[in-house]
Every structure is written in structure tokens, then in C-alpha cells.
Amino acid sequence: MILWFSKMLLPLVISYVIAFGLISRRPIFDDFLDGAKNGIKTVADILPTLIGLITAVGVVRASGLLDAITDISAGAAGLFHIPQELVPITLVRLVSNSAATGLLLDLFRQYGPDSRIGMAASVIMSSTETVFYCLSIYFGSVKVRRTRYTVPGALIATAAGIAASIWITGK
């Protein structure tokens, strides 16, 4: 039943949108083209930010800086009962989901997905957000310069997600 519903959901939504447009006498195709044009403009506006983030993550990872930061922050992570192996994924997750996924797969290869490290990393990936990526994309696309409490709030939420991940997967 659920599989049938999931297969039917997208056609139902598309049919609903088309029917609503016809009933309200809107030029559906013209509205679609306007939306596509606006989407392309948004992508063009945020593309430099995306390229910068992807390049920065690649440079940090390839240069060994991430390993150095991990070694430096190992003592502080130990105070919070965060295994040293999870420090890179918690740092990279703030910036890039794809790079964090690569680190997650490395942890799975080394420790296994059913290990405490593997489970904690999986929960971290699902309970935290790419804070700086989202802020740069969302605020950059609408040209917001003053984020006020967004960054501290997002970092507190991420810290709560990391703490919950460590606590849930056991000490």
C-alpha cells in the first residue's frame, strides 16, 4: 500500500497543480517558464558561493589541515566524550554534506557501520545540518547581510545534535 502511494504521489501532485491552474484560468506553461527562469537566475547568483565552498573543503581535506585540527581539538573533544574519530565529520558537516558523507564512508570502511563510531557518525549526519552552506546559499540568494541570531542558534542546534548522537549511541 505504501509503495503504491509513494509511486502515485508525484503524478497526483502534478495533476493537482495543473487542475488548479486550469480552474483558476492561469497560463500554466507561462508560469512554469517564469519559474524556471527565476530558478536559473538564483542558481547563477549562488554559483560562486557553491564553487568557493566546494574548493575550500577540498583544499582543507587534501592539505592535511583537517587532520591537524582534529589532533589539536582531540583534548577538548575528549572532555565532551566525543571520540576523536568523529571530530573531522563534525567539523566538515558544518560546511559540506558531500564531504561529510565521504568521511562517513571512510569511517564505515575502517570501523564498520554497526560499530559505535559508525552508528554515532550516522546519527550525527542525520541530526545536524550544514550550517554554513545553508546560510551562504539561503541568505546569499536573497542578499541578507545581517544574520543576527541565526549563526549562534544554528551552532547551538548542531551542538545539541552532536551531544544527542553521542549520548544515544552510548558512551
Among 101, 81, 83, 79, smallest CA distance to 92 is for 101
Domain boundaries, the chain: 40-168
Burial profile 38-73: b = 16 or more Cβ within 10 angstroms, e = fewer: eeeeeeeeeeebeeebeeebeebbeeeebeeebeeb
Q: Tell me how crowded residue 77 is: count the other CB atoms within 10 A of its CB.
A: 19
Question: Is-contact 131 149, C-beta < 8 A?
Answer: no
**What does each of the 171 residues of the chain score in pLDDT, given as a tens digit?**
888 888 899 999 999 999 999 999 999 899 999 999 999 998 888 888 778 877 887 888 889 888 898 889 888 888 888 898 999 999 889 988 888 888 899 999 999 999 999 999 999 999 999 998 888 888 877 878 888 899 999 999 999 999 999 999 985
**Single pTM value for the model:** 0.69
